Structure formats: C-alpha cells, structure tokens
Amino acid sequence: MGMIDIAVTKLSSKGQVVIPLGDQLILKKASDLGKNFEEDLTFAKRTEDALKRYEKGLYKEMNARDFAAEIEEW
C-alpha cells in the first residue's frame, strides 16, 4: 500500500469541525479508530485507485452476474 496522508480533527464544544484538505474524507468516532482503521485505509486506497483508473478510461463493462462474481473474489 502506498503512503496515505492522514489528518485527525476534533469536534469543538460548539459542534464545529475543521475538515482537512484532501481528496477523500472518512469520518469516524475516535473511539472506533482501532477497530477497523486498517480496513478503512485499504478500502479508501482501493477506491482512490479505482477512480483514477476510471478517469483514465481504464475500466471494463460487465454484466451483473460477472460483477457479483468479481466482488466475491475481493
């Protein structure tokens, strides 16, 4: 997995939050970070890679059955 920039922010007493500059945003309660954080990072990276491939026209079309079979392999 490549290098991913991570910024952590806090919710103010007024319910305000500063959103870090970036291409992707994952909101999670800090108490939940340890549970699935690595999985969330992996998912974010895969999503980012897929979007880049799509933007370059590097995607393929398939029917629903083939798509479901490919998802099962993940």
Tell me what pLDDT residue 2 has.
54
Give 38-67 as a 3 state SS string: HHHHHHHHHHHHHHHHHHCCCCCCCCHHHH
Q: Which residue has the tokens 């910024």?
A: 7
Q: Report pLDDT digits (tens) over 13-34.
A: 888 888 877 777 777 776 666 7
Mean pLDDT of 40-47: 83
